Structure 1
């Protein structure tokens, strides 16, 4: 067991299970619905701008994404979007909220291994009901000593979570697919930050890697994490 790391924090979406893939598939259907009003590239630019504006109002997750699609549809049609398109977008959002959970390769084995020796805490942002549903369906819930579903991930988030569920940030490690939300704020408060990139990156979560930071590491899959922690 590592003497350095006593608490391990995990991100959820696109770290433990697939998430962004379903957003991209919905965006493709969104582009098809609005094909007569906007080319796909321009439409995605407008949608991303709407998401950026709306995060402070709606937070992260499917509900905010659905509302941003509707807002974008209204904008690009200059208020003439047909009611059936709005109805279809709402249906797409509900379908995303019902989508089964698909664990990523190595996720379950990694969590089970680390649960034997470390305090585990899930630190995820998004819609409360949706994140609780996904955790329950994942079959991993009982392996975590703490669950933190937050509106955003800031340095203060990690100070509080690692103090509540462990020995503080200096003895903690956070792993996730978002450099902006999972790695940088964790390192900022003295924890280890481990970047595990996903196949698809959301533009709003991108940030430069802290190359040279003493407590920064990168892995390609969660299967590498137990060995990494033993080597710290």
Structure 2
């Protein structure tokens, strides 16, 4: 796709599943959670109930591991008719602690890409999730030195992006967003009139999936992060 990036001065990067692995750990925790509840419901039913609970609680807890753990506990109580024992509740809590304690696994090409782009562009992180968890991951990643600004958003709607761009005094036509989620990193940016590059991750949370009829061709999609250097460097 032939897109002109010559006017771009600031590049925003999503964090989870763009810079480092994230969704994979949630899927692993979901599998273990379903195993813990195998005496109460089928795996498919447990998965469905957990997702329903996450969506129900999203406005209360926001995105991130802590809200995920609370939704697992609430789902376990409902699926067991409040018969779940303390030992299982403790195991659910430990699933969350294990997720938080995991080392940060950078995706291929991240250091190379950031190292080259920082010489030509102002780089910022625009992610969503739990503030403490995202700050922890950024620190452990060793990537902080590449970024001029880090912002953890409560959500990634067009107004969230516009407010931040206004606050940082970044003209829309000088901004490019790079991320793995069409729903969060691409479509809201395109709606604003800015540019976006989609770098799909092999696993996508159901909440981030976009129906084919709502997708757009007004952006570039690449197979891996290092491919952006063909267009930006």
1:211 to 207, 216, 230: 216
Residue of structure 2 in register with 1:118 after alignment: 121
For 1:79 and 1:2, the matched residues in 2 are separated by: 56
Q: 2:11 aligns to what SS in structure 1?
A: strand
Kept after mapping to 1: 8 A contact 2:124/2:149? yes
Match of 1:12 among 3, 6, 15: 15
Contact 2:199 2:224 in 1 (8 A): yes
Q: Give the one of 67, 70, 79 matched to 2:70.
A: 67
Q: 1:118 to 1:166 in 2, by over 3 A?
A: farther
1:71-220 matches, within 5 Å, as 71-165=74-168, 167-208=170-211, 210-213=215-218, 216-220=219-223
Q: Which runs of 5+ in 1 are unaligned?
A: none
What CA RMSD, in Å, does the superposition of the two structures yield over aligned residues?
1.5
Structure-2 separation of matches of 1:165 and 1:141: 18
Task: Report SS of the residue matched to 1:4.
Answer: coil
| Conserved? CA contact 2:5–2:231, under 8 Å | no
* CA 1:166–1:104: 2 relative to 1, 3 Å: farther
Structure 1 contact 173–192 (Cα < 8 Å) conserved: yes
Is 2:56 the counterpart of 1:53? yes
Deviation at 1:166, TM superposition (A): 5.5
Q: Distance in 2 between matches of 1:226 and 1:145?
A: 20
CA offset digits 1:126-153 (Å, max 9, x no partner):
1111000000011111110111011111
Q: CA deviation at 1:95?
A: 1.1
Q: 1:212 & 1:19 partners in 2: Cα distance? A: 26
Q: What CA distance in whole angstroms lies between the structure 2 residues aligned with 1:31 and 1:2?
A: 46
Secondary structure of 1:96's counterpart equals helix
Establish whether residue 27 from structure 1 lines up as the match of residue 30 from structure 2. yes
**Segments of 4+ moved more than 2 angstroms:** 160-167, 208-213
Indicate the SS of the match to 1:160: helix
* Structure 2 stretches lacking a partner, 5+ long: none
